[in-house]
């Protein structure tokens, strides 16, 4: 199965080389990487070009003019990966919060399901053990908030470590997705659930980023809090 890992990047120069070697040391056949870089000032995009040359046919890069958010980065990434023939697409962050070593298990779990969620909130999954209580609480609260308002059955609906079958993404009206920050993950999950698509969850340990800076900010959090309510009205027809 031709599997493309899509990684959006903004200033991940410290993480990208480590990520590329972690991914290509996995024993997964037919794996390729698509980096979607938003003109990172730290040169991540150029670095990705260098990897593209070093791993011909295995690494590709989509360059965008500036920081335009996670949501559109993934939508453009999905489109390109599908045009290039991907049969499955995996979303993940570049900061090692999503453990690359879980990818084989996610791929093995895919048959019989429309997608696989790398999950912090099922038995065996967890968030960084060194996070202060408020941070653990905020993460759990955000997930509970979205699940409850939208009536979602999956346990981790805010995480961004997910494997999709090509057919699943093709069945979804991706041109209607409007979220820009990480609430994009909730919107995808909600649309898929409205369509009756089904996901299995594989437990992951979500470690805090060790290198580079977080892109989380108050605007992205506000967007998430409000957007969840908007979603209720936006997809009544599905």
Which residues of this chain interact with Mg ion, rule CB under 5 A? 93, 95, 97, 209
Which position's Cβ is nearest ligand GTP? 214
Q: How far is the CB of 158 from ligand GTP (least distance, A)?
A: 9
Q: Which is nearer to ligand GTP, 58 or 67 (CB)?
A: 67
Q: How far is the CB of 59 from ligand GTP (least distance, A)?
A: 15
Choice between 172 and 184, CB closer to Mg ion: 184
156 binds, among Mg ion, ligand GTP, none (CB under 5 to 8 A by kind): none
Give me the helices (H) in 26-69, please: 44-54
For residue 34, which phi and psi values (nearest 5 degrees)? -120, 115
Among Mg ion, ligand GTP, none, partner that 187 touches (CB below 5 to 8 angstroms by kind): none
Least Cα distance to 158 among 99, 100, 217, 118 occurs for 118
- Nearer Cβ to Mg ion, position 32 or 185? 185
Which CB sits closer to ligand GTP, 182 or 199? Answer: 182
The residue assigned the tokens 């791993």 is 55
Shortest gap between Cβ of 159 and ligand GTP (angstroms)?
Answer: 9
Instruction: Report d(CA 214, CA 208) in Å as an integer.
Output: 10
Find the shortest distance in angstroms from Cβ 180 to ligand GTP: 8
Dihedral through CA 61, CA 63, CA 67, CA 71, nearest 10?
Answer: -60
Nearer to Mg ion, 170 or 216 (CB): 216
Cα gap 39→149, rounded to integer Å? 36
- Minimum CB distance to ligand GTP, residue 63 (Å): 10
Cβ pair 110, 165 in contact under 8 A:
yes
Q: Which residues bind ligand GTP (CB under 6 A)?
A: 7-10, 12, 36-38, 67-70, 73, 93-95, 97, 182, 209, 214-216
Q: What are the distances in angstroms from CA 164 to CA 92, 152, 182, 200?
A: 12, 18, 17, 11
Q: Torsions phi, psi of 132, nearest 5? A: -65, 160
């Amino acid at each position: 199965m031709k599997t493309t890992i899509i990684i959006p990047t903004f200033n991940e120069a410290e993480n990208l080389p480590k990520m590329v070697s972690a991914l290509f040391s996995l024993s997964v056949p037919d794996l390729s990487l698509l980096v979607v870089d938003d003109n990172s000032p730290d040169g991540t995009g150029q670095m990705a070009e260098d990897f593209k040359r070093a791993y011909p046919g295995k690494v590709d890069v989509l360059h965008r003019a500036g920081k335009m958010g996670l949501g559109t980065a993934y939508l453009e990434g999905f489109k390109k990966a599908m045009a290039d023939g991907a049969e499955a697409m995996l979303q993940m962050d570049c900061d090692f919060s999503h453990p690359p070593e879980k990818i084989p298990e996610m791929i093995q779990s895919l048959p019989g399901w429309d997608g696989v969620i790398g999950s912090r909130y099922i038995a065996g999954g967890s968030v960084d053990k060194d996070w202060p209580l408020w941070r653990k609480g905020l993460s759990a609260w955000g997930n509970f908030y979205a699940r409850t308002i939208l009536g979602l059955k999956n346990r981790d609906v805010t995480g961004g470590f997910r494997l999709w079958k090509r057919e699943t993404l093709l069945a979804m009206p991706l041109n209607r997705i409007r979220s820009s920050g990480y609430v994009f993950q909730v919107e995808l999950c909600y649309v898929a659930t409205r369509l009756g698509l089904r996901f299995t969850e594989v437990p992951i340990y979500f470690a805090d980023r060790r290198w580079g800076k977080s892109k989380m900010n108050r605007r992205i959090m506000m967007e998430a809090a409000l957007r969840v309510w908007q979603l209720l009205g936006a997809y009544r027809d599905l």
